[in-house]
Amino acid sequence: MNRRNFILLLFLSAVANFSLAQVTVVADPAIDLLVEKHIKANSEGKGFPGFRVQIFSDSGNGARERANEKRSSFVSKYPDVPAYLDFNNPNFIVRVGDFRTKLEARKFLNSINVEFPYAFVRKDMIQPPPIE
């Protein structure tokens, strides 16, 4: 047996013995709790930082109905742009779009400014774009 084959045989036997080894991990149980919290927080799907255009905000009697009307009106004119109705006590808020940059949001704002003159751009957590 030449030296090269001998080294290969030693290597293979070491790998075979290594695969039979067992590893025991001793860790604080609080680590498992933190990992579970992390997984839960990430699975809630809150999105990532971006921008939306706020087209409506109101409170008081009938605010929910007015917000739904404004959202429906927007969706009928711009069916390809997502519209979100949120409640931030005491206001019902309608925000539209999922823009990664402020520039994208401002361009869209300029295109709807006639129909929604009091709209403005604001930071928000947005949904990721669809995978194509």
Please report, for the domain that includes residue 110, its CATH number: 3.30.70.1070
31-61 pLDDT, tens digit per residue, is: 888 888 777 766 666 778 999 999 999 999 9
Residue 100: domain span: 48-126
Closest CA to 118 of 50, 52, 57: 57
Could you say which DSSP state residue 109 is in? H
Could you tell me the pTM of the whole model? 0.65
Instruction: Please tell me whether residues 19 and 65 are part of one structural domain.
Output: no
Confidence band of 18 (pLDDT split at 50, 70, 90): low
Confidence band of 121 (pLDDT split at 50, 70, 90): very high
The residues with which 95 forms a beta bridge, in sequence order, are: 54, 84
Instruction: Please tell me whether residues 32 and 91 are part of one structural domain.
Output: no
The two tokens of residue 60 are 């008081």
Instruction: Please tell me whether residues 68 and 7 are part of one structural domain.
Output: no
Which residues are CB-contacts of 112 (< 8 A; sequence separation ≥ 6)? Answer: 53, 55, 78, 119
53-89 pLDDT, tens digit per residue, is: 999 999 999 999 999 999 999 999 999 999 999 998 9
pLDDT at 22: 75
Q: Which amino acid is at 102?
A: K
Backbone angles phi, psi at 54, to 5 degrees: -90, 120
Q: Tell me the C-alpha distance between 46 and 126, whole Å.
A: 7
To the nearest whole number, what is the mean pLDDT of the chain? 85
